[in-house]
Amino acid sequence: MQNLLGRRVGSATLVAALFAGVFLGAPAQALVRVAPSTVWGHTFAGTSAVKSANATTTNKPRSANIEAKSKFVVNYKNFPEWAKIEVQAAIDIWSANFQSSVPISVEASWGRSPSWGVLGSARPGNYYSGFEGAPDASLWYPSALANALAKKDLDKVSSEIIIQVNSTASWNQRGDSTPTSREYDLESVMLHELAHGLGFLSNNTYDSYFGFGSIDQPTPFDAYTQIPDGTRLADLPSPSLELGNALQNDLVWGGPLGVKANGGVKPKLYTPTPYEGGSSVSHLDEKTFSKSGLDSVMTPNLDAGEVFGGPGPLLIAMMEDLRNKPPVGIATVIPQTPRNVRALVSDSSAIVSFDAPVNVRTAQISTYVIKNLKTGQEKRSITSPVLMTGLKNGTSYTFSVYAINSIGESDAAQTGSVIPQAAWKATVLDSAADGKSVTSTTFNNLPTVAYTDSKNGALKIALLSGKVWKKITVDGTGGTGGRTKNPITGQISLCVNGAGTKQTLHIFYSDSVDKDLRYAAYDGKKFTFEVVDGNAPLLNSYEDPIRVRGNSDVSVSNACVASAGGVQVFYRDESQGILLGAVKKKGEDWNYELVDGDRKTDDRTTGDVAFHLRALGNAGTTYVIYDSVLVVNQKFATSGAVRVAWRTGLDENTWNYKSLDFTDGAVAVAGYDVSLAKVTNGIQATWLTASVLTVPKAENIRWALLGAPANILQTSGGTFGTPGAHIVSDGKQLAFECEGRICFFDYSKAGPAGIKLVTTAQNPEPLRMAWVTVSKVKYLLASVNGKLSLLKP
C-alpha cells in the first residue's frame, strides 16, 4: 500500500466529504455548502541574506497579559520545542485580535518545503457558504471566520487552519525576537500565516499557459478586492482572460474599515507581473508597505533579520471588513435564466431550489422571485432553497424562478410538478437528548436503543419495559470502572448473545478526545468497561503480520456481531486507512486481526477502507460490508467501491472478499453509506452511489442480494431530494437522508413511487437513524428538532 501511513493528513476531511457531500444541512430555508480549500498563502524569504534597510524592528507584544478573544488549539506535527514557543507567541497575539466563540483548530506541520524560498504556507481548512450568520450568502467564508460568524463549529472533524513551516530555513532559535542578518524570525512567519488561515487570502488561481484567471468560490476577500474602476474581483467572469489580466495589474482593497485605517486611501495589493502563485493578490504591496512598521506584516517577503511586529491597525481593519457584507457590485448585463430549478416534496409546502445564472458575477442579482404557478403566490429571496408554504397535500404544483438586477429581469425557469404530502408523526423518546447517533436491537426480549447526547457528551441506552422507556447513562460523563469523561461521538454498534432473558448486551463506541474504541458489556444489572483498541503506546503497522493493540485513531466507524462463540467488532483504523477486527472468545482476551485494506492479493484491496461499515451474523457466518475509496481529487473521492467480506467461524485466515459495486460508466463512486439486512431469500446489501455529474454528492440508492450480486437494483430520490449521508435498512424498508431531511423507501415498490416523506425539518448536520419494533409496530428512531423521537406514518 503506497504512502499508507501518510494518508492520515487528509483522511479526516475526506470522512466529512463522504458523509456530507457538497452540502451540509442547515435550519430554515438554507443549505450550508462546503468546498475544499486548495489555495495557499506563502511567506517568502527575502532576496537578500543581509538585513535590509526595509527591515521592521518594531517590538512585538508578548502574551503574558493579553486578553484572549478566541481560543486556538494547535496540533503540532514534528515541531521542535523551541519552535512551539514561537508559534504560541503568534497564537496568543491573534487570540487577542480575532473574535470567535468557537475554538480554532490549527494543524501545524514542520518539514522540508518543496521550494527553498518558502518559509511558511497556510490555508483555511475549508470554505463555507449559505450558513446562518453569513453576511453574504453568495460568498465563501474560510473555516475559522465562518465558525465565528455562525457561532458554532460547522465541521467538528476538520482543522480550521492548515500551516506548513519549512524546517530547513535558517531560523533564529534563541527566542529573543532579534534574528541576525542571516536568520529568519519564526514568530513573524506565524503571525503572517495565521492571517492567511483566518481569511486574508484570495481564492484565485491563474493558468500561466493560457492566461486565464479563475475564482470558483469567491470569498469576502475577493469581494473587497477591486480593479481601479471599482469592479469587484469576485464579479469578473471566471475563468476568463479578463480575470487573468486583472490578477497581474493594479488591485486595491475597497473595504471601508481598511480604507479608513490607511488614511482614506484604498490599500494597494501585491500584483506582480508575471503572476506569483501563493503571493499575488493575497498580500499588501511590497513596495508600498515594506517600510510601514506594524502594517508590513502582510507583505509577501520576510528578509533575514526582519521582524514583523503586527498585526497592525491596517490588517486588523481589513480583517474586520471580512465580517461585514461587501457592497453590491456593478451590474453590467441583464441576468440570464436561473439554472437547475427544481421543486421538492414537503408537508403542505414545497422546497424550491435553484442555481444562479451563468452570468451571476456580471449581473449582480439583487433578488430572485419564486412564483407558485397554480396560486400566483410569490416569494423573494437572495438565496436557494426557498420554502413555499400554504399548499394542499395531494395537489400538484409547479413553480417558476427568475432573477432581478438593477437593469432588468431574466427569463423564468420552471420546475417540474410536485405533490406535497404529510410527514410522519413523531413521539419523543428522550426530550433531553438530541440522538445524533443511534442504533437499536432486542435485548432480553425488550426493544433497546443506544444513542448519544451531544449536549453533555453522554452515551445512553433506553429499554422499553411495558409502556415506559427506562433510560440509562452508560458513559461519557465520567465515573468509575473504566468509564470516561470524554464526550462520546461517532457511530455506535450493538450486538447481543445469550438466550431468553439471560443475554449480554455488547456496546461499542468511541470518544472524541482519545479517539479510542471503547466497549461496554451489560447483563441487565451491571456494566463492565474496557478499551478495545487505540490506547497502546505504539502504532501497529499494517505491514506487521503480528496483530496487537495499537495507538491509531479508531473512532470513525465500528460494527459488531455476537454469537455463542464470542464477540467480534470491526472498525476503521483512521491513521492507516485499513479495516481492523478484534475477537473476544469467552474467557479469553481480545485477539486482533487486519481484515482488509493492506494488499491486493487474496482478493483484498489497497483502497482507503471502512469510512462506513456494517456487520451482520447469520447461521454462523459473519458478513461485513464497507466502502473503499480508490482515488481522491482535491479531498473528494472520485473513485470508490462497496465491498463485502465474510467468513464462517472466527478464524482470521478464512475471510472471503467481493466488490459488490465499483467505478464504471454509470457509477463514479460507490459507498457514502452502507447497510445489511436479513431477508427471506438471503442477505441484502444496500448502498449509495454518485455519478460523474454528482460527485462528491450521492445520487442513487442501490441494492442487491449477496447471493446474486450481479442483479443490482436502484432508485433515485425523485422529487423528494437526492439521497445522501446516512441510510438504514431492515430489508423491506429503507430510511435515508434527503436534502437534510429524512425519507422512506419501500423496496417492494419500483422507483420513486416507493418513496415517502418522513420529516420536514432540515438538520444542521447528517444524523443516523435506526428501525425499532415496539409491540409488532415498526418505528423509525431519529432526532427531530433536537429531540430523540420515534416516527411512524
pLDDT tens digits for range 568-625: 999 999 999 999 999 999 889 999 999 999 999 999 999 999 999 999 999 999 999 9
Mean pLDDT of the chain: 90
pLDDT at position 341 over 80? yes
- Nearest Cα to 448, choosing from 391, 494, 511? 494
Quick count: other Cβ atoms within 10 Å of Cβ 239?
Answer: 18
Distances (CA, A) of 291 to 11, 48, 287, 333: 42, 16, 8, 42
C-alpha triplet 176, 180, 184: angle, nearest 5°: 80
Q: What digits encode the pLDDT tens for the residues 184-228?
A: 999 999 999 999 999 999 999 999 999 999 998 999 999 999 999
Instruction: Indicate if the pLDDT at residue 390 is higher than 60.
Output: yes
pLDDT, tens only, 676-696: 999 999 999 999 999 888 888
pTM: 0.76
pLDDT at 635: 61
pLDDT given at position 33: 84
Q: Do 272 and 17 meet the contact criterion of CB atoms below 8 Å apart? A: no
Kindly state the average pLDDT of the residues 260-272: 97
Q: Could you say which DSSP state residue 94 is in? A: H
Helix (H, G, I), strand (E, B) or coil at 569: strand
CA angle (641, 645, 646) in 5-degree steps: 155
Helix (H) or strand (E) run with residue 636 in it = strand 636-648
Of 367-371, 389-393, 499-503, give the lowest mean pLDDT range.
Answer: 499-503
What number of residues does the chain have? 793
The average pLDDT across 668-672 equals 87
- Give the range among 27-36, 140-149, 728-737 with minimum mean pLDDT: 27-36
Q: What is the spatial distance between Cα 632 and Cα 630, in angstroms, rounded to a whole number?
A: 7
Task: Burial-class residue 529 by CB neighbours within 10 Å (0-12, 13-18, 19+).
Answer: middle
User: What whole-number distance in Å separates Cα of residue 593 and Cα of residue 127?
Assistant: 39
User: At residue 323, what is the residue type?
Assistant: R
3-class secondary-structure state, position 756:
strand
> Is the CB of residue 336 less than 8 Å from the CB of residue 409?
no
Share of the chain above pLDDT 90, in %: 78
Among 3-7, 386-390, 591-595, the range scoring the smallest mean pLDDT is 3-7
Q: Which three cell numbers stand for residue 257?
A: 474599515
Burial class (CB in 10 A: 0-12, 13-18, 19+), 628: buried
- Beta-bridged to residue 21, according to DSSP, are none
Residue 340 Cα distances to 115, 277, 336, 382, 415, angstroms: 43, 34, 13, 16, 9
Residue 52 confidence (pLDDT) above 70: no
Q: How confident is the model at residue 13 (pLDDT cuts 50, 70, 90)?
A: very low
Predicted confidence at residue 680, as pLDDT, reads 94
Residues 362/331, Cβ–Cβ less than 8 Å: yes
